[in-house]
Amino acid sequence: MPVARSLIRIAVNVAVDGALAAVAVPLAWWITDPMGAIPSAGFCIPLGAAVLLLAGLPFRLSRQYWRFAGMADLLTVTASSVLGAVLFSLVLYVLGLGPPSFGFPLAHGLTLLALLGAPRVAYRWFRSREQSPVAEADAT
């Protein structure tokens, strides 16, 4: 049973991280070029998700326990975001699509970091608040 629960957790992490990475591509594109459209968006958006999931493999991003998220996990998210943004930009250059500006990899990396890190921190914070029912009068 614990193995099944672990596989379900990993599948949920992959789905959530992939969806957030897919959202990061148009958001970063808009940040760097507000008036421009994403060339072949049907290809670039899934590519952003796939590249992040690939970049997260060496850092074991999809195996994280969100309820225990700490500084080490945020460093993992940071490293995965940087590697994912670099790989995504390299793939765009190789395919000749090219990002809208030289600042796109930086914007994409920071967007990935914000979109992947914020839910982990928020989940950890909400879980810790409901597990420690300390009365305000007792907390000094």
Closest by CA to 39, choosing from 24, 28, 26, 20, is 26
The values of phi and psi at residue 16, to 5°, are -70, -45
What pTM was estimated for this model as a whole? 0.83
Residues 70-118 have pLDDT tens digits of 788 888 999 999 999 999 999 999 988 877 788 999 999 999 999 999 9
Residues 47-59 have pLDDT tens digits of 999 999 999 888 8
Q: Which long-range contacts (CB under 8 A, 24 or more apart) does 118-121 make?
A: 119/16, 119/20, 119/66, 120/64, 120/66, 120/69, 120/73, 120/74, 120/77, 121/69, 121/74
